[in-house]
Structure 1
Amino acid sequence: MVSATFMKIVSPCWKPSTEGENSNSDGEDNGRVDGLLWYKDSGHHVSGEFSMAVVQANNQLEDCSQLESGPLSSLESGPQGTFVGIYDGHGGPEAARFVNDHLFDNIKTIHGAEFTSESCGISADVITRAFLETEEEFLSLVRNQWLNKPQIASAGSCCLVGIICSGLLYIANAGDSRVVLGRMENDVKEVKAVQLSSEHNASMEFVREELRALHPDDPQIVVLKHKVWRVKGIIQVTI
């Protein structure tokens, strides 16, 4: 029963779409379940191969992940690439699922609107605008559903994105998830872990200082609770 229930929770949050293949039917044909662990062995995408795993930590899985491989623009003449999104939900799955359903589409739409032959690749500006557009769309949803579903206002999600396009790797992060690159060091024949993103987390002193500077009239903006720094004593993530 655990595996069957787990698969029902995971499948709507797992949206791989590799070139020439739509891998998301019910999930069972493309992944394997072992208790609270779901994983998918290597598959092909535009920039190479991938594998992915999900471990359920709560009664309800609040996280989502997706891999899209193919056009990165709404235009047929747009660039080809690979998009990976990891969305660490909290306070419920609604925000992570919303990002999973809208962020990549927003990137394609925004890129398509400003596409030119001189700037055919993806850009940091496109990714930033897609983040902001997705956030505004979710806030609009919260406002519209406030009276009937007020609990949605407490849901949120970290958002970690990697895009490979035209030989470049773009990393975007909002929250305290982390991207780590494994790079082979030929001289020692070992894989070296290289951190590619920085967390936004109240455990970091410079983040606490920034929050205090932004909220000088709130002495409780960061609170040490059970030896862990938290925003308002509730959550560690700060953006």
Structure 2
Amino acid sequence: MVSTTILRFVSSCWRPVVDGESIKRVGDASTGRVDGLLWYKDFGRHVNGEFSMAVIQANNLLEDQSQLESGPLSSVESGPRGTFVGVYDGHGGPEAARFVNERLFENIKKFTSEGRGMSSDVITKAFLTTDEEFLGLVKSQWLNKPQIASVGACCLVGVVCSGLLYIANAGDSRVVLGRIEKTTKQQEEVKAVQLSSEHNASMESVREELRQLHPDDPQIVVPKHNVWRVKGIIQVSSE
């Protein structure tokens, strides 16, 4: 299956509480470091707060990628500033996730510069353009490297800009917000708030969508080992 980053969900869904409605603009955090099978960025201040990131390698070959960018979200000096977080779950090989890691944020900066700033449309256009670019790479390399035609990547993206959080996901992943809420005067607890839904053949709505898109293929989604899979092979319905 060739990787396609078809955007299914983009939303400016949450306005974070900022003391005095002001945001301190500070420098980027240090570059990531490697410690055994763990890649991480230490907890540090960014344009829109404090962030840290870590990746644990589960396979011999790390197929996943992630990035944390903070500062200008445009290629022009007068463009908006903010924080970009991307998590790319690769499978079948690392090529697709690495490609998205290199191109998606650059495309977001490009389209932010061409338009009037950050928006859902900018993120949608960046997803689709990155998809087209990777398909072009597959077409140019598949004769000499046919394995690249079976590589894929799921994508999660969060952009904090001008007091808004934009989220986008494509594939078998979801965005979850952890929010601190007071339960009593003395106690607090962290509650998980789901902000997006994964695109997975285990969901009835996804299976029905696939059947409608492929009415002439009775095997477009079938159960295998008690799990619904696209063509009996993979659970991800878009990537």
Q: TM-score, normalised by structure 1?
A: 0.84
Q: Quote the RMSD (CA, aligned, Å).
A: 1.6
1:139 alignment partner, SS class: helix
- Whole-angstrom distance in 2 between the partners of 1:214 and 1:122: 32
Assess if the C-alpha contact under 8 Å between 2:30 and 2:41 holds in 1: no
Q: Output aligned runs, 1:11-26, within 5 Å.
A: 20-21=27-28, 23-24=30-31
Q: Please identify which structure carries the higher strand content.
A: 2
1:217 counterpart residue number: 216
How far is the alpha carbon of 1:37 from its aligned partner?
3.4
Q: Which of residues 176, 180, 185 is equivalent to 1:184?
A: 180
- Whole-angstrom distance in 2 between the partners of 1:57 and 1:226: 23
Q: Please identify which structure carries the higher helix content.
A: 1
200-209 vs 222-231, which moves further: 222-231
Distance 1:184-1:21 versus aligned 2 partners, 3 A rule: closer
Query: Aligned pair 1:168/2:164, yes or no?
Result: yes
- Identify which of structures 1 and 2 has the higher relative contact order when contacts are C-alpha pairs closer than 8 Å and 6+ apart: 2
2:207 counterpart residue number: 208
How far is the alpha carbon of 1:215 from its aligned partner?
0.9
Quick one: percent identity of the two aligned structures? 76
1:208 alignment partner, SS class: helix
Distance 1:150-1:19 versus aligned 2 partners, 3 A rule: farther
Q: Which of residues 116, 140, 144 is equivalent to 2:140?
A: 144
Q: Note the alpha carbon deviations across 1:109-142, whole angstroms, 9 max, x for none.
A: 1111123xxxxx4100000000000000000011
1:138 alignment partner, SS class: helix
How far is the alpha carbon of 1:46 from its aligned partner?
0.5
- Whole-angstrom distance in 1 between the partners of 2:177 and 2:155: 17
Q: Output aligned runs, 1:1-239, within 5 Å.
A: 20-21=27-28, 23-24=30-31, 30-31=32-33, 33=35, 35-115=36-116, 121-188=117-184, 189-239=188-238
Which ranges in structure 2 are unaligned for 5 or more consecutive residues? 1-24
How far is the alpha carbon of 1:39 from its aligned partner?
3.2
Size of the aligned set, in residue pairs, is 211
1:177 alignment partner, SS class: coil
Q: Which amino acid aligns with 1:227?
A: N
77-86 vs 215-224, which moves further: 215-224
1:238 alignment partner, SS class: coil
- Whole-angstrom distance in 2 between the partners of 1:164 and 1:130: 16
- Whole-angstrom distance in 2 between the partners of 1:21 and 1:169: 19
Q: Which amino acid aligns with 2:106?
A: D
Q: TM-score, normalised by structure 2?
A: 0.84
